[in-house]
Amino acid sequence: MPVISMLTIGQTPRPDISGDLRQLLPPHWELLEYGALDGLTRQQAETLCGYRGQGELLVTRMTGDSRQIELSAEKVFARLQDCIDRAEGVDFKGVAYYATLMLLFYLGSIIIGSIICGLFVDNFLPREWFAITSLCETSGHCASHAGVSASWFEIVSGIFLVLLLINAFMLKFFKKEETVNENQVVYRIDGMSCNHCKNSVEKAIKALDNVEDVEVILGKKEAVVTGKPNDEIVKKTVEELGFEFKGRK
């Protein structure tokens, strides 16, 4: 049976990660989890691997405890080596094989897509759309654009590019204020630090009864829920993921 090993600087299990990963793996593949802090209490982890102000800082959470714990990268990596030793052999063959397949698929899709687009442009679109022929015919070279009028394709492409730049600028500097309507509830949730945290919370809450939609705002540590959720069920769901539920805003 092929085996995938998953290592974390914190503790296992990590259902927020392993749940999604298992859905991507074939049914007959086994997923094993190893954590550098497995078997330790918070006090033991702080004693053995706590950050003392020197070297690189790592931040994680203990299982069932949404409070963050600061760790020394050097000490954590030493414990991770023990995890690697336990997972060596067939586990790493599975990881290498899976990663190679994903990389080949990604690169192959880019190459094949580029070839298909090139063949489509060469064989199905008018050649004059992409060549400045009038300048070469009148002057014998293409070093100057003086006196040459742009084609409709060039004009449309230029306008489209300008609109894209304007849209990007407005999204960057003119963010609209989030408004909460009567059918929305805002929950405060601590411990979310990345997009994976965001996705796992959104997915878990959205699966609950009477929930139409969920949007997690990482910067504000909030989850905007559309519908009529049960606060106690939401609290239980969030805490099962390892985050701290702080109630409604």
Please choose, from the candidates 40, 48, 49, the residue with its C-alpha nearest in 3D space to the C-alpha of residue 71. Answer: 49
φ, ψ for residue 186 (rounded to 5)?
Answer: -110, 120
Write the pLDDT tens digit of every residue in 148-187: 556 777 788 889 889 988 888 787 676 555 555 678 899 9
Of the pLDDT bands very low, low, confident and very high (cuts 50, 70, 90), residue 240 is confident
Q: What per-residue confidence (pLDDT) applies to 135?
A: 45
pTM: 0.41
CB 12 within 8 A of CB 35: yes
The closest alpha carbon to 213, from 193, 200, 223, belongs to 223
- What's the CATH class of domain 184-248? alpha beta
CA–CA distance, 197 with 189 (Å, rounded to integer): 11
Q: Where are the domain boundaries for CATH 3.30.70.100 in the chain?
A: 184-248
Q: Which residue matches tokens 């070297």?
A: 55
Give, in order, the Cα–Cα distances in Å from 178 to each of 15, 125, 186, 214, 219. Answer: 30, 44, 11, 14, 13
Three-class SS state of 27: coil
